[in-house]
Every structure is written in C-alpha cells, then in structure tokens.
Amino acid sequence: MPGDGIGPEVTAAGRRVLQAIAARFNHRFEFEVQKIGGTAIDATGTPLPEATIASCERSSAVLLGAVGGPKWSDPNAPIRPEQGLLQLRALLGVYANLRPVKVIPELAAASPLKAEILAGVDLLIIRELTGGIYFGAKTRTTDSASDLCVYTVPEVERIVRIAADLAGRRQGRLCSVDKANVLETSRLWRDVTNRVMHDEFPEIELETLLVDAAAMHLLSRPADFDVLVTENMFGDILTDEASMLAGSIGMLPSASLGASSRGLFEPIHGSAPDIAGRGIANPCGMISSTAMLLRYSLKLDDEADLVEQAILHAIVAGARTADLVRDGDKTLSTGEMTDEIIKFLK
C-alpha cells in the first residue's frame, strides 16, 4: 500500500529490493497494490476500502508507505487518513510494534548528538499498538473533549512477553516505560510487567522508567538500553525521538506483529509532503522494513540479513540521500540510493 506523500516513492524502492532478493534466491513474490489513507479517501470516500481489506486478508505480509498530508489534515474532518491506519492495525491484529535503532558510525555526524554519546547504540523499542488512548472511547462537546485510555491485563501480558523474549535473544536487558506516578493504566502496566518478569523471565534484567525520564535518558545514555517496552502513545513519541540517534528518521524501519505470521511493515517516517514527488526521499527505512518482512513474515533470515548488509555497505561506501548529506557528500536520489543497495544484493 503506497499511501500518500513520499509513500509511493519509498514503496517502489522496497518492491525493487524484494524483486532483487527473489532473483538472487530463486523466490517468486506476488504483489497486489491497494489504496489506503488520503488517496483512498479521494478515490472511494474511505481511508481503508473493502478491496484493501480483502487484499490484506489473503496476503502473507503487508508493506505500507505512509498516510496523510495537508489536503486531509483538518483534525475536525469526520474522515481522516490516520483512521485507515488504526483500522488496519486492528484488522490485522498486530499489537506489537518493533522499532530497532542502530547507529551506523559513518552516520554519527548526521545526528544532533555528540559522537561519543552515540557509540555502541543498538536498541529495540517494542510499542503496544492496539490499545491505550488511541483506541479508547472519544467524546467532544462545545466546551470539552475526552479520550479514554484503557489497558487490560492480557494486553499488557502479551506485549511484555514478546519484549522479554526478544531481550533474551539480545543482551538480556529490558526497560519498561510507564507513568505510574500519575496514571492508573500505568500502575496496572507496572504491576503486570513486574509479575510476568518475575514469574516467567527471571533471567532478564528489568529496569523501570517513567516516560519523562526515559525521554531524557534516551538522549543522554542511549547505549545503556537494549530493549524497551511501552504503551501505545508513549511508544509513538519515544520512537520518533530515538530516530535522531540514527541521524535521520528516514533510516528507521518497523514491524507490526500479532499472533499470526502476517505482519505490517513500514518505515517510521510520515508522508513528508514537503518533499513528495521530488525523488529525494531516503528509501533506507522502507528497505530495512522489507528486511523485517522477510525475517518475521516469510521466515527468510538469510535474505533479511543480506538486505541489512546491503544497506550498511552502501552507507559505508558513501551513499547518501539529502537527509544524510554533510559537507562534501554527493547527494543521491531515492532511485540512485536504491540502485547502490541493489548492486550489493546482486
């Protein structure tokens, strides 16, 4: 689903990489292209048309560009592109959003943080994706508005188990982020997390941080983190903040997973309407998302590893899109950056 803004440009890059992988490993991928977001509203009157829903349900994985833009940005509009994204997550039952952040030393200069702070940063943020304030009941009157934040014990248990399992495959450290000094949902989150970790994952080192402290520590000591787990809204905010560690939000992928192998894969950047259609968007976040698609939905680990190596090889060799360029660097277009990555795949 290309979606809006730069979505079609980066999705085209992701598809090219998947086709290169298919040729290299003798696979055959079948693609269906469907609408979502603003373009879907314009074409059908709804941000998630029935044809898109049917296509998702018969697919092995879903690759998404981005949704939204100035044309559909009125927050009071009854139909908005973002509604399609929330509906899609609920439809697919993808409740765990995985967002890895790994600093490539050659891109340290692109980050606003000092290089010594970035040394050794390799973390994974697990964001709960289908609960919390985004999905709670909403009211609006002339004088007031409300958004209900709700979490249940099973919702917290399942996301914590996924985070702890992933931490066990990495450095064995998990940080749970909440706001338990203020919010009742966060007190439930902390109680359930402590119980699950104590009873089921005693070998994992657990740290608990309030969200405001976590935001500070992500910028002051990011290399100290291994895996972080948090609720929907906190995760939305913290992952965008963490993108600055990598030098550009255009570098970062995400995988949204649930009980089935069919996942939703998308770069974490938005639709970037200011650069849409100019061919300068960074495709690395989308291409990294295709690596996650290969790994988590198609169980093709070697192919996923090769895609990630190809991105690293291109960056180390000096390939840069406009968001990564510093003095003296040559600027590549979206297509040229994709070409450099595909060269390594071949």
Q: What distance lies between CA 320 and its chain's CA centroid? A: 21
The number of CA neighbours under 13 Å toward the Cβ of 239 is 30
**pLDDT tens, residue by residue, 301-310:** 999 999 999 9
User: pTM of the prediction?
Assistant: 0.92
Residue 227: what pLDDT? 98
Q: Is 227 helix (H, G, I), strand (E, B) or coil?
A: strand
User: Which residue intervals of the chain are DSSP H helices?
Assistant: 7-25, 38-44, 50-57, 81-92, 115-118, 153-169, 184-200, 211-220, 232-242, 284-296, 301-316, 334-345
Give the catalytic positions in this structure.
Answer: 134, 179, 212, 236, 240
**pLDDT tens, residue by residue, 186-199:** 999 999 999 999 99
Q: Which residue has the tokens 């690596």?
A: 291
Residue 328: what pLDDT? 74
**pLDDT tens, residue by residue, 96-152:** 999 999 999 999 888 899 999 999 999 999 999 999 999 999 999 999 999 999 999
Residue 11: what pLDDT? 98
**pLDDT tens, residue by residue, 241-257:** 998 899 899 999 999 99
Please provide the CATH number assigned to the domain covering 1-95+259-346. Answer: 3.40.718.10
pLDDT at 230 over 80: yes
Domain ranges of the chain: 1-95+259-346, 112-246
Q: CA distances (Å), 324 to each of 106, 110, 208, 258, in order?
A: 10, 6, 34, 33
- What mean pLDDT comes out for the span 194-214? 98
Q: Do domains 1-95+259-346 and 112-246 have the same CATH topology?
A: yes
CATH topology of domain 112-246: Isopropylmalate Dehydrogenase (3.40.718)
Residue 329: what pLDDT? 79
**pLDDT tens, residue by residue, 20-64:** 999 999 999 999 999 999 999 999 999 999 999 999 999 999 999
Which amino acid belongs to residue 137? A
List 3's β-bridge partners, or say none.
66
**pLDDT tens, residue by residue, 150-172:** 999 999 999 999 999 999 999 99
pLDDT at 204 over 90: yes
